[in-house]
């Protein structure tokens, strides 16, 4: 096997993963289990910075969550659909337009299963598509090409990406999203995060509609049970690169 084939793994770790992290950094959305009849948690009376701080603390204390949604930038849509369990791992799908791959992070390893469109985009050949079609590819967490996944495979990393370089914050109005009472916090950089005003002050929605970027991502299923396990068989990327 030539060195050109393993190159897709290096590009996987840098291009799509970083794009997905950028998507999360500009938009996220979620839900709290409390409805409109629940008692106020008092977060709406705080300042914008205090509201965001409360939301970050609440989300980071969760044992698990589900994040899903998409952001369109430069004509390309970056999507996430991931379940994250603290101390156990992550599973789901990351997409860039029609190209996507399943992702499982567990036991100190990353496993990806690219779809044909993803394989074609990064191998530029039907031979590459056929070679890896339906296969799970494995990399260790120490692989520098996959370290950018770290912000997607832990709750702390994911929430950290939300609060990175948010600009000046201002408090918006209260409203209801999908039956959940929320308060808005607006960023000078064009994003809005909605925080639950009943139950725990979880992030409920952070949307983006400026600078050529539009979209949102949902956070939901806080503290619910998810089963995360590695695929039964996989191909070691490290071994492929060594044999290339």
pLDDT of residue 173: 96
**Cα(127)–Cα(142) distance, integer angstroms:** 29
Number of compact structural domains in the chain: 1
pLDDT of residue 238: 74
**Cα(86)–Cα(74) distance, integer angstroms:** 33
pLDDT of residue 163: 67
In a domain, 121, yes or no: yes
**Cα(176)–Cα(77) distance, integer angstroms:** 27
Residue with tokens 């509201």: 51
Burial class (CB in 10 A: 0-12, 13-18, 19+), 26: buried
pLDDT of residue 106: 93
In a domain, 35, yes or no: yes
In a domain, 236, yes or no: no
pLDDT of residue 144: 74
Distances, alpha carbon 208 to alpha carbons 30, 33, 106, 222, in Å: 15, 24, 31, 23
In a domain, 242, yes or no: no
**Cα(241)–Cα(244) distance, integer angstroms:** 5
Containing structural domain, residue 151:
7-231
Tokens of 233: 């068989």
115-131 residue pLDDT tens: 999 888 877 888 878 98
pLDDT of residue 6: 39
Query: What's the CATH number where 66 sits?
Result: 2.50.20.20
pLDDT of residue 72: 84
pLDDT of residue 22: 42
**Strand, coil or helix: 127:** helix
Contacts of 236 (CB under 8 A, 6+ apart): 138, 139
H or E, element range at 11: helix 7-11
The rounded average pLDDT for each run of 10 residues, N- to C-terminus, in the chain (244 residues) is: 40 44 40 60 96 94 92 82 93 91 92 91 83 90 75 82 77 93 90 92 84 82 94 85 59
Within 10 A of 244 (CB to CB), how many other CB atoms are there? 12
pLDDT of residue 25: 43
Residue with tokens 């044999």: 243
Q: pTM of the prediction?
A: 0.81
In a domain, 193, yes or no: yes
**Strand, coil or helix: 203:** strand
In a domain, 239, yes or no: no
In a domain, 194, yes or no: yes
In a domain, 97, yes or no: yes
Return the closest-CA partner of residue 196 out of 213, 183, 211: 183
Would you say 113 and 101 are in contact if contact means Cβ atoms under 8 Å apart? yes
Residue 194, CB-side half-sphere exposure with 13 Å CA sphere: 24
């Amino acid at each position: 096997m030539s060195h050109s084939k393993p190159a897709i793994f290096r590009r996987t770790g840098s291009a799509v993963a970083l794009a997905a992290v950028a998507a999360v950094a500009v938009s996220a959305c979620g839900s709290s289990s409390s409805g409109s009849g629940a008692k106020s948690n008092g977060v709406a009376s705080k300042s914008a910075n205090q509201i965001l701080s409360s939301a970050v603390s609440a989300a980071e204390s969760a044992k698990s969550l589900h994040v899903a949604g998409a952001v369109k930038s430069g004509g390309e849509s970056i999507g996430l659909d991931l379940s994250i369990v603290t101390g156990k791992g992550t599973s789901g799908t990351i997409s860039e337009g029609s190209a996507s791959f399943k992702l499982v992070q567990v036991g100190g390893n990353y496993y990806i299963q690219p779809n044909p469109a993803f394989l074609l985009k990064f191998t530029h050949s039907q031979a590459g598509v056929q070679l890896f079609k339906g296969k799970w590819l494995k990399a260790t967490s120490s692989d520098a090409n996959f370290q950018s996944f770290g912000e997607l495979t832990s709750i702390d990393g994911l929430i950290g990406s939300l609060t990175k370089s948010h600009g000046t914050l201002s408090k918006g109005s209260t409203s209801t999203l999908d039956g959940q009472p929320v308060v808005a916090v607006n960023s000078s950089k064009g994003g809005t995060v909605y925080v639950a005003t009943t139950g725990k002050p979880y992030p409920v929605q952070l949307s983006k509609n400026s600078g050529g970027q539009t979209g949102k991502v949902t956070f939901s299923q806080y503290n619910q049970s998810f089963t995360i396990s590695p695929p039964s068989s996989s191909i070691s990327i490290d071994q492929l690169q060594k044999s290339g």
